[in-house]
Amino acid sequence: MLGDAKVTTNRRGNGYTVEAAVPLATLGFNPQPGKSYKLDLGVIFSDATGTTRALRMYWANKATGLVNDVPGEIMPSPNLWRVAALAGEKSP
């Protein structure tokens, strides 16, 4: 459980935006300024009833579409991740 994560959801029309902020230390990640890191970010969408997975969408790994194969769904694929650089901290 990520008790110090902050998640907000903003609904509008037939869509929404989710913003999540998780302290990197909570994830055990200590990025260094000026370095780049391979990563992927994703979301799992449910069906209209919210009872089953209907779609997996990732920023980097476009080769995944599994929604009913738990071993395959949790397999990381670093060879399909992209490189990202750490930006400066956001001002309050």
Q: Could you report the per-residue pLDDT of 62-76, keeping only the tens digit for each?
A: 877 667 666 666 677
Residues paired with 21 in a beta bridge: 6
At 8 the pLDDT is 94
Q: What is the mean pLDDT of residues 25-49?
A: 86
Q: Could you report the per-residue pLDDT of 39-63, keeping only the tens digit for each?
A: 888 888 888 898 888 888 888 888 7
| Distance (Å, whole) CA 73 – CA 13 | 30
| Distance (Å, whole) CA 61 – CA 82 | 8
At 62 the pLDDT is 80
Instruction: Sketch the domain layout of the chain as residue ranges.
Output: 6-85
| Distance (Å, whole) CA 39 – CA 51 | 28
| Distance (Å, whole) CA 48 – CA 75 | 26
